[in-house]
Structure 1
């Protein structure tokens, strides 16, 4: 059952957008060095190695990992396989700001998926909150100047990101379904590991298709190694842990509004790398996004 939005829950739901913003930037950074599907496979293979020692309870025969394979296979497909692969694929032709902007439609997709497939009613307060939050994202994109929006052009990567956002909506709603056995639900590492095991398999399938269609070699460097360690530990293990806990507390719809912090964080990080100071529109965008979160979750 959903609980009121508390400071601890808000913190849990803020950490993933921060890490995912970094994920978009480094994913763009190594787009020419590592193919997108291969990058996703390497990321989750490393995450699997990180989770195995702390989620070893999952390896017991009574845990339900294999008995409930349909649930964890779908969670792994939507959350680990499709979402992340499509995001890295999107970064091949789109920028981190564009990718995170397209993902800002998450509240809308979350409401639609919840209403159509999980019989969740859509309330007026949620719609108003979504508009406020998306308004903040648009403000970041325009850099406070609406002429910037007129010059914006969508690319194939933006379509891939829309598909990724829909997949993530299904993943988030499935997290709310109380179908996990106590041995898995009580242990966050085991619960995440169950998803990653199947997700890594899906990622392997997608990577094998990539290798057969457009074979490319990895251009290894210390930058690539550092990126792999970051995306495995941060956007994968830590972000998924925080997102799962936050969504189970507040619900997918409220969690979706927090994802709109990702473009703001991405813009600030990009500015930091370019040596530019934050501007007033960043503060205004932050106010709109947080206002949308607060209004919709009341």
Structure 2
């Protein structure tokens, strides 16, 4: 089936940016309570526990997962072990405006990786759409004032976000280009995700162990931390990954990549709801540019 952007695909691809905007807000709020690699490990351990009753059979020795373990190990590394850990690490080392700004490079990574490794040509419409989408992100970040962007200074921690964006783009292309796993495994979303998490937890545990070995790990239990962990395990992990996988399958990774730039806009809207900030004209303009970039890039 040829990938195309339908209303259903657009809805599915809008859910992850909303969840990830909440993830960024919560991640910043609890950064003093738990170190980034440990937070990533706890998040996915909870997600694993949630999915285990639904798809625990996929971990049995005779499961279809194990003949394809190399592919699932790579999917788990790129998403659970790399992308999320790098973002949490970036939230501890870079200013939020830097993290969002550098993260807006994801659509470019999508187009670049698709061209280099999958032979997918980049159209002029996609380039125009990428430019429109990034302009929308810049409107949110600058609050409609050019001098705000002129004050932005990139720091070494921003490299983490670039690495995370590249990892996510590669992960998305791997989802859209299945190789060896049977259709029955791929169509069972909970089993497919649980297989990725199982391998991703290994990578996350190694990262967390290294964090504590270097003396940089910390964990301070509290009920707000517990509530935050439940949220990021259910929403940004299970729900968002399910929606992203289904959306990429329908629209293709190149078009899907533009939806990630909705994240800073949703972050601004969440700030309006939870922090009482009033929406501004530039929020509307940003939405028009980001949505316009999605439409332009996905037209044939």
Distance in 1, matches of 2:2 and 2:107, equals 17
**Unmatched tracts of structure 2, length 5 or more:** none
1:72 alignment partner in structure 2: 72
2:118 alignment partner in structure 1: 118
Matched, 1:108 2:108: yes
Pick which of 102-111 and 36-45 moved more. Answer: 102-111
1:279 alignment partner in structure 2: 280
Matched, 1:269 2:276: no
Deviation at 1:182, TM superposition (A): 2.6
Deviation at 1:279, TM superposition (A): 0.4
1:127 alignment partner in structure 2: 127
1:169 alignment partner in structure 2: 169
1:235 alignment partner in structure 2: 236
The aligned runs of 1:221-260 (5 Å cut-off) are 221-260=222-261
1:58 alignment partner in structure 2: 58
Is contact 1:17–1:258 with CA below 8 Å preserved after alignment? yes
Is contact 1:45–1:200 with CA below 8 Å preserved after alignment? yes
Distance in 2, matches of 1:96 and 1:268, equals 15
2:205 alignment partner in structure 1: 204
2:25 alignment partner in structure 1: 25
Deviation at 1:30, TM superposition (A): 1.1
Deviation at 1:63, TM superposition (A): 3.1
Is contact 1:97–1:267 with CA below 8 Å preserved after alignment? no
Distance in 1, matches of 2:216 and 2:96, equals 25
Deviation at 1:61, TM superposition (A): 4.1
Distance in 2, matches of 1:289 and 1:253, equals 15
Is contact 2:98–2:152 with CA below 8 Å preserved after alignment? no
- CA distances 1:76-134 after superposition (whole Å, capped 9, x unpaired): 00011000000000000224343222211111011111111222111111111000000
- CA distances 1:169-217 after superposition (whole Å, capped 9, x unpaired): 1100000122221331120101111101001111011111111112433
1:293 alignment partner in structure 2: 294
Q: What's the TM-score once normalised by structure 1's chain length?
A: 0.96
Matched, 1:185 2:149: no
Pick which of 3-12 and 39-48 moved more. Answer: 3-12
SS at match of 2:194: helix
Distance in 2, matches of 1:288 and 1:125, equals 14
Distance in 1, matches of 2:157 and 2:2, equals 34
Is contact 1:37–1:210 with CA below 8 Å preserved after alignment? yes
Deviation at 1:4, TM superposition (A): 2.4
- CA distances 1:265-293 after superposition (whole Å, capped 9, x unpaired): 11222243332111010000000000000
- CA 1:295–1:134: 2 relative to 1, 3 Å: same
Distance in 2, matches of 1:173 and 1:119, equals 12
**Unmatched tracts of structure 1, length 5 or more:** none
- CA distances 1:112-166 after superposition (whole Å, capped 9, x unpaired): 1111122211111111100000000001111011111111122333221111000
- CA 1:69–1:134: 2 relative to 1, 3 Å: same
Deviation at 1:239, TM superposition (A): 0.2
SS at match of 1:219: coil
SS at match of 1:2: coil
